[in-house]
Amino acid sequence: NIASTLASLLVGRSSISPNFGKSGSEKKQSVLLIIERNFDPRPPFIHDLTLEPMARDILDVKNNCIEFNKNTKDSFKLYFDASDPVWQSLRYKHIADVMSEVNTKITELNTTKKLEVTGENMSVSSLRKLMTKYPAYRVEFRRYQGLMMLDIALLEKYKSNDISSIAKIEQNLATNETITGEPVPDNPVLLANLLEDITSPTDKFRLIALFALKKDNGLTKPLFEKLVEISHIDFAKKCLSALQILGFPIIEDSTSKRPRPLPRCPYDATVSTGYDDSRYIPIIWDILRRLTGQNLDETLFPFMG
């Protein structure tokens, strides 16, 4: 209905304005993909360990900006500027790779501008010295300093907040495979033990949701109630029940008309980070790749236009 209504509106607009959509130098074809909001429900519950998504998930990012050393003389703001080519190249890099990538960019700047920058592994303090030595390149070095500070903050969170172990469990549940390719068994007892060891209510909530979604058709009502009870999270039952209303298969429902199983994206080395804690690829990636390549199965995704 949405596609038909939109198509009718576009046809009506074109009849009134024959040049509608034909002005300008850009001649690429636009495509609108309409999917259910619950089409790929797993990604919101997974710790994305790439630079920008992880920062927005666990750090205090406001208005595309994060401030370090607040209320001190060393206060520093880093803006998430989508128009900045350096930010564009690093924003979706795994946090384990960002520091080396920044050092590579500093080396490139050193070579291009013929600066006397020594040492392969720069630090925040060494960048401060370079800003004093080369004031003409203060903007560039300050940008790299901010990226390093952001990556350091994320790595500290990764190590100190149990994210390193939680992320691997999330990946197993989301992909339904271990790092060796073995299927992940349905083991609610193991999950219950994990929930007791985790302190963050949000992380507990994420694991319960992923465990439910792993089964494609959700949890039995008694198991759902038990996991919520064990988690000791005030908001768990209310939030998970709300997700069920939105069409997320959290609890088994014999009356549901949702197709099964929930789709999973095939492994793709071109977009994989190469890290065991970051293996999951959202199915929407595969769909968009096929859509732009004009080989999307039209029996599954009917096309209008």
Is 201 found in the same domain as 155?
Answer: no
First-to-last C-alpha distance (Å) of the chain: 14
Structure tokens at 243: 């997700």
Scan for tokens 């058709």, then name that residue: 217
Domain-terminating residue out of 161, 188, 221:
161
User: What would the DSSP string read from start to end of 216-237?
Assistant: SS-B-HHHHHHHHHHHT-TTHH
* Mean pLDDT across 195-210: 92
Q: What is the pLDDT of residue 59?
A: 95
Verify that 58 and 157 share a domain, yes or no.
Answer: yes
* Confidence at residue 289, expressed as pLDDT on a 0 to 100 scale: 87
Distance in angstroms (rounded) separating the CA atoms of residues 187 and 178:
14
Structural domain harbouring 239: 162-246
Residue ending a domain, among 145, 161, 177, is 161
Q: Cis (ω within 30 of 0) for the bond into 261?
A: yes
| pLDDT band at residue 258 under the 50/70/90 scheme | low
Q: Are residues 70 and 143 in the same domain?
A: yes
Question: Would you place residue 19 in the very low, low, confident or very high pLDDT band (cuts 50, 70, 90)?
Answer: confident
> Does residue 42 sit within a domain?
no
Residue 78 has pLDDT above 90, yes or no: yes
Q: Is 104 helix (H, G, I), strand (E, B) or coil?
A: helix
Q: What is the C-alpha separation between 55 and 39, in angstroms, rounded? A: 25
Tokens of 119: 């040492």
pLDDT of residue 282 exceeding 60, the answer is yes
Residue 1: HSE in the Cβ half-sphere, 13 Å Cα cutoff: 1
Query: Residue 285's pLDDT is what?
Result: 86
Q: Which residue's structure tokens are 């939030």?
A: 239
Is the predicted pLDDT of residue 20 greater than 90, yes or no? no
Judgement on whether residues 152 and 233 belong to the same structural domain of the protein: no
Span 18-30, mean pLDDT? 73
- Reported confidence tier of residue 244, pLDDT bands at 50, 70, 90: confident
The tokens 């319960």 sit on which residue?
A: 208
Exposure on the CB side of residue 59, measured as CA atoms within 13 A: 28
> Which residue carries 């691997």 as its tokens?
168
Tokens representing 223?
A: 């198991």
Same domain, 88 and 62: yes
The pLDDT of residue 118 is 65
Among 25-39, 205-219, 241-255, whose mean pLDDT is lowest?
A: 25-39
Q: What is the pLDDT of residue 249?
A: 85
Q: What is the pLDDT of residues 158-184, one digit of tens each?
A: 998 789 999 999 999 999 999 998 999
- From CA 145, how far away is CA 122, in angstroms rounded? 9
The number of residues making up the chain comes to: 305
Rounded-to-integer distance, Cα 171 and Cα 174, Å: 5
Last residue of a domain, one of 161, 196, 215: 161
Q: What is the pLDDT of residue 260?
A: 56
Q: What is the mean pLDDT of residues 4-26?
A: 80
In 3D space, the residue among 285, 284, 278 whose CA is nearest the CA of residue 97 turns out to be: 278
Average the pLDDT over 225-244 and give the result. 89
pLDDT value at position 100?
93
Q: Give a yes or no: residue 194 inside a domain.
A: yes
pLDDT-derived band at 66, boundaries 50, 70, 90: very high
Question: How many other C-beta atoms can be found within 10 angstroms of the C-beta atom of residue 114?
Answer: 6
pLDDT value, residue 64: 96
Q: Provide mean pLDDT across the span 197-205.
A: 91
Average pLDDT, the chain: 87
| Candidate from 18-32, 110-124, 185-199, 289-303 with smallest mean pLDDT | 18-32
**Whether residues 156 and 178 fall in one domain:** no
How many domains does the chain fold into?
Answer: 3
CA angle 74/75/79 to nearest 5° reads 135
Q: Is residue 10 part of a domain?
A: yes
Single out the residue of 79, 70, 68, 87 nearest to residue 152, CA to CA.
68
pLDDT of amino acid 47: 96
Q: 97 CB contacts (<8 Å, ≥6 apart)? A: 273
The mean pLDDT value for 137-157 works out to: 93
Minimum mean pLDDT range among 24-28, 51-55, 250-254, 301-305: 24-28
Question: Residue 67 pLDDT > 90, yes or no?
Answer: yes
Residue 33 has pLDDT above 90, yes or no: no
Rounded percentage of the chain residues whose pLDDT exceeds 70: 94
Rounded-to-integer distance, Cα 233 and Cα 227, Å: 10
Residue 254, pLDDT score: 67
